[in-house]
Amino acid sequence: MKITIIGTGYVGLVSGACFSEAGVVVSCVDISSEKINKLKEGIIPIYEPGLEAIVKRNLEKGRLSFTTDLEEGLKESEAVFIAVGTPPGEDGSADLQHVLSAATDIGKLMKDYLVIVTKSTVPIGTSEKVRETVRAALKKRGMQIPFDVASNPEFLKEGAAVDDFLRPDRIIVGVESDQAKKIMERIYKPFLLNGHPLIFMDIASAELTKYAANSMLATRISFMNDIANLCELVGADVNSVRKGIGSDPRIGNKFIYPGMGYGGSCFPKDVKAIIHTAEAYGYPLKVIRAVEEVNNYQKEIIFLKIREYFKDDLKDKVFGIWGLSFKPNTDDIREAPSLTLIQKLLEKGAKIKAYDPVAMGEVKKLLGNKIEYSKDLYEAAIDADALILVTEWSEFRIPNYNVLSRLMKQKIIFDGRNIYEPLELKESGFKYFCIGRKI
């Protein structure tokens, strides 16, 4: 069985590599020749644990190939997956230009029946737009090649993407023809051996499922951030409250950790997009709007605490920042809380020394020499007026407080992820600030 994947970003590359690992022959296509040339040599343009070995193994076995030539990529394929970016447009709606441009290219080049699968996160109705776009391109060629559209939203998490793809909780497929359903069943058969379900539904429901899932997760995060902020006011400890509610199986203990707000390439844009879709239908989606509002506030929460402590005098103060990626185990900095914080501190004239195990290259592309980049976590602490823990990479979990005491100008830690023990820090002579806990 042969398939094509268009787009070799976090989703397209992981999907393509994992399908090939399961025995499917995969041709991955991207418009970026720089990316494709690297990938042909087994060089992975993103940081994703476990991905490099799978790509190299399947390149060698000849099951995985990379090209910028879609015509070449489509040869002998039974399905083509569109996995290109859908960034937010200015009004918050998902920008579909890449998806529809891929659909046009497919219509221009396809030769036989294909299932055209949208894997990108797209608003309800997009698969229909893909169908119309492909039809229009075929019409221009004077051809009538049969095809089906399908929706197959992706639920992998950056940082654990390979494992998520190889061992999915569930696979959602929206299809409206038996032929397309059978092909999708064959493609995904190797991933179902662990008993997790392949759930078929209509296309609009599949498209909405992805937005509903991300909005629900974002809701849990914003809910817990709201509760954490209340804890500080009433003298409660959010860790106790979290354990207390998380032990109720109806609630569960996942995604109820307070912090600096959700970021990344998915939650912020998907929350915006579902609000926009609902508005287009005249429905206000009040809960999800509040989720976004709480998150916008929470992304500033550590900055507000810093400003309060230093009485708004941040000029020439030095801040060591630990962690830049939007979460651990990825180099993705899209919508990362670190960027909001850095911008706010720079506006106040502060100096920043940052360290992240993998994301500094990405931040350098964006901020250049506006901040300093440190070679390790301790270098970022030298002469710092305060340290700020932004992303909870494992290497930040048990720092040597004696070393920090010697290096820092002032012994102050702002912990945006609640990973340190207030008592331990107090005993080591540090001033400690965190989110919603008793200190």
Active site (catalytic) residues:
266
Task: Report the residue number, 55 or 241, with the smaller CB distance to ligand NAD.
Answer: 55
Strand, helix or coil at 150?
A: strand
Cα–Cα nearest to 46, from 261, 333, 263 = 333
Cα–Cα nearest to 46, from 389, 371, 334 = 334
Sign, Cα dihedral of 376, 411, 260, 256: positive
CA–CA distance from 358 to each of 48, 353, 419 (Å)?
10, 15, 20
Token pair of 213 as six digits: 């899932």
Q: Single out the residue of 98, 272, 299, 411 in contact with ligand NAD (rule: CB under 6 A).
A: 98
Tell me the C-alpha distance between 44 and 325, whole Å.
Answer: 18
Q: Is 101 near ligand NAD (CB under 6 A)?
A: yes
Tell me the C-alpha distance between 125 and 209, whole Å.
Answer: 13
Site map (CB under 6 A) of ligand NAD, residues 270-289, x = contact:
--------------------
Sequence letter at residue 135: R
Token pair of 274 as six digits: 């579902």
Q: At what angle do helices 203-234 and 238-246 cross, to 10 degrees?
A: 140
Task: Report the residue number, 121 or 418, with the smaller CB distance to ligand NAD.
Answer: 121
Tell me the C-alpha distance between 408 and 378, whole Å.
Answer: 9
Find all residues with CB under 8 Å of 307, minimum gap 6, and list them: 314, 348
CA–CA distance from 121 to each of 4, 65, 80, 266 (Å)?
18, 24, 16, 9
Asked whether 213 and 270 are in contact (CB, 8 A), the reply is no
Q: Is 120 near ligand NAD (CB under 6 A)?
A: yes
Q: Single out the residue of 19, 20, 26, 30 in contact with ligand NAD (rule: CB under 6 A).
A: 30
Task: Report the residue number, 104 or 179, with the smaller CB distance to ligand NAD.
Answer: 104
Q: Closest CB to ligand NAD belongs to which residue?
A: 9
Q: Single out the residue of 3, 4, 8, 335 in contact with ligand NAD (rule: CB under 6 A).
A: 8
DSSP 209-234: HHHHHHHHHHHHHHHHHHHHHHHHHH
Nearest approach, Cβ of residue 84 and ligand NAD (Å) = 4
Q: Single out the residue of 12, 107, 168, 174 in contact with ligand NAD (rule: CB under 6 A).
A: 12
Q: Single out the residue of 58, 77, 86, 374 in contact with ligand NAD (rule: CB under 6 A).
A: 86
Asked whether 103 and 82 are in contact (CB, 8 A), the reply is yes
Site map (CB under 6 A) of ligand NAD, residues 31-60, x = contact:
xx--x-------------------------
Q: Single out the residue of 18, 25, 29, 377 in contact with ligand NAD (rule: CB under 6 A).
A: 29
Task: Report the residue number, 30 or 385, with the smaller CB distance to ligand NAD.
Answer: 30
Nearest approach, Cβ of residue 292 and ligand NAD (Å) = 17
Q: Single out the residue of 3, 4, 5, 10 in contact with ligand NAD (rule: CB under 6 A).
A: 10
Q: How far apart are the first and last CA of the chain?
A: 59
Q: Single out the residue of 3, 6, 271, 291 in contact with ligand NAD (rule: CB under 6 A).
A: 6
Cα–Cα nearest to 126, from 93, 156, 155, 158 = 93
Task: Report the residue number, 55 or 156, with the smaller CB distance to ligand NAD.
Answer: 156
- With contacts defined by CB under 6 A, name the span among 153-161, 236-244, 278-286, 375-383 that binds ligand NAD: 153-161
- With contacts defined by CB under 6 A, name the span among 154-162, 250-258, 344-352, 366-374 that binds ligand NAD: 154-162
- With contacts defined by CB under 6 A, name the span among 94-102, 106-114, 252-260, 369-377 that binds ligand NAD: 94-102
> What's phi and psi for 367, nearest 5 deg?
-110, -10
- With contacts defined by CB under 6 A, name the span among 98-106, 107-115, 228-236, 247-255 that binds ligand NAD: 98-106
Contact residues: ligand NAD, CB under 6 A = 6-12, 29-32, 35, 83-86, 98, 101-102, 120-121, 154, 156, 158, 265-266
